[in-house]
Amino acid sequence: MGKFELSPLPYDYKALEPHIDAQTMTIHHDKHHLAYTNGLNTALESAPDLQSKPVEEILKNIKAVPENIRGAVNFHGGGFDNHNIFWANLNPKGGGEPSGPLADAVKKAFGDFAKFKEQFSKSAVGIQGSGWGWLVYNPSAKKAEIKTMPNQTSPRTDGLVPLLGLDVWEHAYYLKYQNRRADYVGAWWNVINWADVADRYKNAVG
């Protein structure tokens, strides 16, 4: 038992149906997310000073992690954090479009919501192999950006703040959608918790 713990899903396993099915949610959370959590704790056994830091800080400063465990922390720490964001980004009553300052940032960066949706979907569907599609805040450029990351590597390791993440690993959709990743991506828009994304944007902008 290590420092990092798997939080329960903030809604029922079947709550996102028909867009994301209960069996996928159960395996994804109880098996895959648990494995990243355990993997992070195992990786940090030899680095007790890091165990007391929030995972966000560890990932932001990934180069400060001892080289012999850096790859494992990047993968399992990224997986632990990414999935925490993924569950919070979703809500059975979600969907629609953002409002407020987040909507303004999306409009400024991409023209309008429809263009953002199209560009985000295209980049996520196009990821080769396993990875994540992200809407991030770039603090140096002071704007929202679309970013793809391979495997479980966190956008935080590039100095970016994750706002909205889409897991396109096959474990996230294969039971229901098989090879139809584009259908999964299309359905995912119906359950986005824009209030959570807006909170992350607000905190990122400061």
Q: Which is nearer to Mn ion, 34 or 205 (CB)?
A: 34
The length of the chain is: 206
Instruction: Scan for tokens 């824009």, then name that residue.
Output: 194
The window from 69-77, 127-135, 162-170, 184-192 that contacts Mn ion (CB under 5 A) reads: 162-170
The window from 15-23, 100-108, 121-129, 163-171 that contacts Mn ion (CB under 5 A) reads: 163-171
Q: Which is nearer to Mn ion, 30 or 97 (CB)?
A: 30
Q: How far apart are CA 116 and CA 129, in angstroms?
A: 23
Q: Which is nearer to Mn ion, 110 or 181 (CB)?
A: 181
Kindly state the smallest distance separating residue 65's Cβ from Mn ion, in Å. Answer: 22
**CA-to-CA separations, 202 to 3, 177, 195, in angstroms, rounded:** 28, 34, 10
Residue nearest to Mn ion (CB): 167
Q: How far apart are CA 65 and CA 83, in angstroms?
A: 21
For Mn ion, the binding residue among 50, 135, 167, 181 (CB under 5 A) is: 167
**CA-to-CA separations, 196 to 40, 49, 56, 94, in angstroms, rounded:** 25, 31, 17, 10
The window from 94-102, 131-139, 167-175, 180-188 that contacts Mn ion (CB under 5 A) reads: 167-175
* Radius of gyration for the alpha carbons in the chain, expressed in angstroms and rounded: 17
Residues near Mn ion (CB under 5 A): 167, 169, 172
